[in-house]
Amino acid sequence: MLVSELLPPPFIARQCKANSSPQCILAQPARLESDMTKRTVLVVDDNLDFAEGIARLLQLHGQPAIAMATVRGALDTLDDDPTVGLVVSDIRMPQVDGFDFHRVLKYRFASLPVVLMTGLPLSDEDNPPRDIRILHKPFPIEELLQAIGEKLGG
């Protein structure tokens, strides 16, 4: 899957300047709620068991969370669920890696904070964004909670 396939068609953006149809509303950047506890964390990892485990641990710590195994599923969730306030994504995923996913998120949901995670070392070919927090698996849940708190301003 190409990154360009995940972006809204250019004609949608042009049409959105003139109206507020449902299609236009979905193409606009997400607005985040001010209360951290009401923001859902979207955990994206191609290993669904891992994503669901992280989501469950976050829930046990009082942080609403949901899990997705694909970037496409994550984007659909972001389009449909306005309570998502932060994305935690794996870097090494098939089809679309975490860095490309981050670029798509910055285009479609400019104010949405992102935390990346990886179980593999970064290579010389990787070009991580400067403003991104990268957690290295395995990590203690407290480290993830701290990263979430920093990104959400809590």
Residue 101 domain boundaries: 37-120+129-152
CA 37 – CA 61 distance, rounded (Å): 11
In a domain, 138, yes or no: yes
Assess if residue 134 is contained within a domain: yes
pLDDT digit string (tens) for 117-145? Answer: 999 898 777 777 787 899 999 999 999 99
What are the structure tokens assigned to 122, written together? 């970064």
List 65's β-bridge partners, or say none. 41
Please tell me whether the overall predicted TM-score, pTM, comes out greater than 0.85 for this model: no
64 part of a folded domain: yes
Report the DSSP beta bridge partners of residue 115: 88, 133
Q: Residue 154: what pLDDT?
A: 63
Domain assignment present for 83: yes
At 62, which CATH number? Answer: 3.40.50.2300
Confidence of residue 87 (pLDDT cuts 50, 70, 90): very high
**Cα(100)–Cα(143) distance, integer angstroms:** 24
DSSP string, 6-57: HSPPHHHHHHHTT---HHHHHHSPP---S-GGGPEEEEE-SSHHHHHHHHHH
Report how far apart, in Å, the C-alpha atoms of 27 and of each of 17, 79, 118 are.
11, 8, 29
**Does the structure show a pLDDT above 70 at 2?**
no
Q: How many domains does the chain have?
A: 1
56: Cβ–Cβ under 8 A, 6 or more apart, which residues?
65
